[in-house]
Amino acid sequence: MRIRTRTVVALTGALALSLVTGCAQGGAAGAGANTVTYWLWDANQLPAYQACAKDFEKQNPGLDVKITQMGWADYWTKLTASFIAGTEPDVFTDHIQKFGQFADLNVLEPLDDLGIDESAYQPGLAANWTGQDGHRYGAPKDWDTVALFYNKKLTEKAGLAAEEMGDLSWNPEDGGTFEKAIAHLTVDKNGRRGDEEGFDRKNVEVYGLATGGAGDSDGQTTWSPFAASAGWKYTDKARWGTEYQYDSKTFQKVVDWYFGLAKKGYLAPFTDYTDGANPANAQVASGRAATAFDGAWMISTYYGTKGLDVGTAVTPAGPTGKRATMMNGLADSITKNAHNKAGAKKWVRYLASDECQRTVGGYGIVFPATPGGTEAAVAAYEKKDIDVSAFTGPVADKKDFTTFSFPVTDYAADVYALMRPAMQDVFANNAPVKGLTKTNDQINFILGQ
C-alpha cells in the first residue's frame, strides 16, 4: 500500500511537473533567442512572406524567421490572449481597425528608429500608423481599394458595355446611372427587369447588386463609396478624430437611399448575407447577383471562380463630381514585449523595404505599399490576364478620385459594437435612419470620456 501511495504521489508530481514545464514551453512560443516570430492571417500571402523570410535569413546569418498563419477571427483572439499571457509574437500584421485599440493598450513598440520614409510608399499609407503621441507604430505593408466586380455574361446580356460600367454616377435623389444600371441588371422570376413595367420586386431571381451586410461602422464594401463621394467624412479629423459624424444629414440620406435599393428589389436583402455562408462573392458566383462591391484582396477569389467571367469597374461618381474608394493599408507592428526586439526591427525594416515588397508583389496576391512593389503586383496580375486598373487607377488619379481611409480613433471596438447592430437595424428591420443620431451621441459620449 505504501508503495502504491508513493507511486501515485510520484505520478501526480510528474504530471504536475510536465504540465508546468509544458506551459513554460508554450510561453516561449517555441522560439530560440535568434528567432523572430511573425504572425499573419492571410493564407494566400503566406508563400510570398516565406520567400521574403528566406531572403532575409540569407542576408542576416544566424537570424531565423518563424511565420505563423491563422484565420482572421482566430488571429485577433489569439493575439489578444498572447498579450495577456506574455506569449505575443515579436512582429505581427496589424489592421488599421485595431490600431487605435492596441495603441490605447500600450502594447506596441515605437518604430521611429526604423527611419520609415513616408514618401517611399503610396500616399497616406505611412501616415496612418502614427499614434496620438506622434510615434510610429507600424511599417507600411500593402494597400487595397474597393471596386465593382460584375458578371460579364449578365452585363452583356443586359446590354451594358464595359465602358458604361466604368462610367456610372449616382445621386441620392434618383440614384443616377448607377441605380439605372443595377435596376436593369435585376431580373424577377418572370424574366422582367427591374426597370420594366410589372417587375415583381418580391420575387427576384437575379439581384442587380449583391449585399455585403449592413457595413458596420465603416461600410468599406457597402455604403462607404457613396457616403464619401457625397462629401461625408467619418470624423471631424482625418486621424484621431474626437467626434464621429453618423448624425450628419448627408450620411443618413446616403444610407437611406442605399438600403432603399433593397426595398426596390435591386440590392439583395440583408437576409441574403451571412458572413460565413453567403458573402457578396458567393452571391455573384451562384448567379444570385450581377455585381458586388468588394476589395482588392478578393481579386484572386473572383477571378478564380470556375465558370465566372468577371469584369471590374471603378466606383460611381457622386454628387461631389468625384468618385471615392476606401484605401486601406496593413502594416507590420512590433510588440512592446517582443523577446527578440533587435531581430524584430531588422525583420520589419526588411518587410517594409522595396526589395521584400517587390518579392511579395511578384506573387500577384496583394498590392504592396511601395510603388515598386505595386508595379510588380500589377505585372503579376497582368500575367494572369487580370486587369486591376479599377483598383490602381483611383490611387493615381488625384483629379477625379478621392481615396479615404478607415476612421482611426480611440474606442474603435466600442464604435463597432454600437454601430453594427444600429446599421443592421436600418437595413434588416427598416429602422428609420434618424435613429443613427442617437447611436452617434452614444459613440461621441464614449470618445469624450
Partner 1 sequence: MTVASSSPPSRLSPRDVEGTAPQPRSGRKREHGGGGDGALAALFIAPAMLGFLLFLFWPTLRGIYLSFTRFNLLTPAEWVGLDNYRRMVNDPIFWDSLKVTVEYVFINIGVQTVSALAIAVLLQRLTQSAVLRGVVLTPYLMSNVVAGIVWLWMLDTQLGIGNEIIAGLGLDRIPFLADETWAIPTIALINVWRHVGYTALLLFAGLQAIPNDMYEAAKVDGASEWRMFWRITMPLLRPVLAVVLIMTVIGSFQVFDTVAVTTNGGPANATNVLQFYIYGSAFGRFQFGYASAMSVALLAVLSAITILQYRLTRAGQTDLG
Binding site for partner 1 (CB under 8 A): 1, 4-5, 8-9, 12, 77, 80, 83-84, 101, 105-107, 214, 269-278, 282-283, 286, 288, 413-414, 416-417, 420-422, 424-425, 428-429, 431
- Beta carbon nearer to partner 1, 88 or 144: 88
**From residue 277, how far is each of 82, 83, 428 by CA, in Å?**
29, 31, 18
For 345-371, letters b (16+ CB in 10 Å) and e give bbbbbbbbbbbbbbbbbbbbbbbbbbe
Count of residues in the chain: 449
Q: Min. distance of Cβ 137 from partner 1 in angstroms? A: 15
Shortest Cβ 214–partner 1 spacing (Å): 8
Least spacing, CB of residue 435 vs partner 1, in Å: 10
State the cell numbers at 366. 496583394
Nearer to partner 1, 71 or 321 (CB): 71
By beta-carbon proximity to partner 1, the closer residue of 115 and 276 is 276
Residues paired with residue 67 on neighbouring β-strands, in sequence order: 38
Q: Which is nearer to partner 1, 220 or 325 (CB)?
A: 220
User: Measured from the CB atom, is 279 or 329 closer to partner 1?
Assistant: 279
Contacts of 129 (CB under 8 A, 6+ apart): 94, 96, 99, 136, 137, 138, 139, 140, 331, 333
> Residue 418 and residue 24: Cα distance in Å, rounded?
39
CB of 282 to partner 1, least distance (A): 7
Instruction: Give the β-pairing of 204-209 and 187-188.
Output: antiparallel
Closer residue to partner 1 in complex, CB, 12/34: 12
Q: How many CB atoms lie within 10 A of CB 238?
A: 15
- Provide CB contacts within 8 A for 186, sequence distance 6+: 193, 194, 199, 204, 206, 207, 208, 265, 266, 290
User: What's the min distance (Å) between Cβ of 2 and partner 1?
Assistant: 8
Closest CB 105 distance from partner 1, rounded Å: 5
